[in-house]
Amino acid sequence: MFHKEGYKIIFFTLVLVIVLSLVADYFVPNSIIRGGIIISLIILLVLILQFFRNPKRHFQKEENQILSPVDGKVVVIEEVFEKEYFNEKRLQISVFMSPLNVHVTRYPVGGEVVYSKYHPGKFLVAWHPKSSEENERTTVVVKSKNFGAILHRQIAGALAKRIVNYAKEGEQVEQTDDSGFIKFGSRVDVFLPIGTPVNVTLNEKVKGGITVLAHNE
């Protein structure tokens, strides 16, 4: 199963692979070189399919838990001053995604979308300390029943050239529903109230909509 954001890219990549394979088969006499070209094209197609996969998962929605919005590795757990929306200290948990991870962004909590904004910016590597403030990004805040306002921010990386954001202010959303999609490598920051009990550790691998980042005592 593939995400809808990848349909066009998958189609054009498939066409490109077929056309170039036929061209190589017709115009390249050396069988080794011809085989290398065709294998390389197939590998390209497999990587594209891998990136846009959207596997079916059995989600367990819990109002007293904050779920990871994406697949990846936890790279930041620290208190920071969040100045775009809260203007106060929050607990930041950041998940870095490699190009091989599933790149669907899911709502970590359910509730009302009270803030949704796109910011153009740079394309620093996603783990750069300033990427959260200087890179292209989208910020979404959902007001939940048990945690209050929870902010998650999609951040473009060096390879990510397009962020898709589905969140619209005023709409009611369900935990684990699609919030957006980032194409080709990125990270997502989640900002929680100070003192929220955390369930993950640095460098831990997490799954979007499955792994519990934090809970409400």
**Contact (Cβ atoms closer than 8 angstroms) between residue 149 and residue 114:** yes
Task: Quick: pLDDT tens for 182-210.
Answer: 876 688 999 999 999 999 999 999 999 99
Angle at 115 (CA atoms; ends 54, 135), nearest 5 degrees: 65
Provide the percentage of residues in the chain whose pLDDT is more than 70: 90
- CATH 2.70.70 is the classification of domain 65-215: yes
CA distances from 178 to 12, 70, 103, 130, 199 (A): 24, 10, 11, 26, 22
pLDDT in tens, 52-83: 888 888 888 888 999 999 999 999 999 999 99
Q: Which of 116, 144, 179, 186 is catalytic?
A: 186
Instruction: In whole angstroms, give the CA distance from residue 211 to residue 217.
Output: 17
The two three-digit tokens of residue 93, written as one number: 């948990």
The structure tokens 């959902």 sit at 142
Least confident interval from 27-31, 109-113, 167-171: 27-31
pLDDT at 131 over 70: no
**Does the pLDDT at position 87 exceed 60?**
yes
Structure tokens at 39: 């294998």
175/48: higher pLDDT: 175
Sequence-separated (6 or more) residues with CB below 8 Å from residue 118: 137, 138, 163, 165
pTM of the model: 0.84
Mean pLDDT confidence for 116-140? 73
Q: 100: pLDDT confidence band, cut at 50, 70 and 90?
A: confident
Active site residue 186: yes
Distances (CA, A) of 30 to 16, 20, 36, 116: 21, 15, 10, 55
Domain boundaries, the chain: 4-51, 65-215
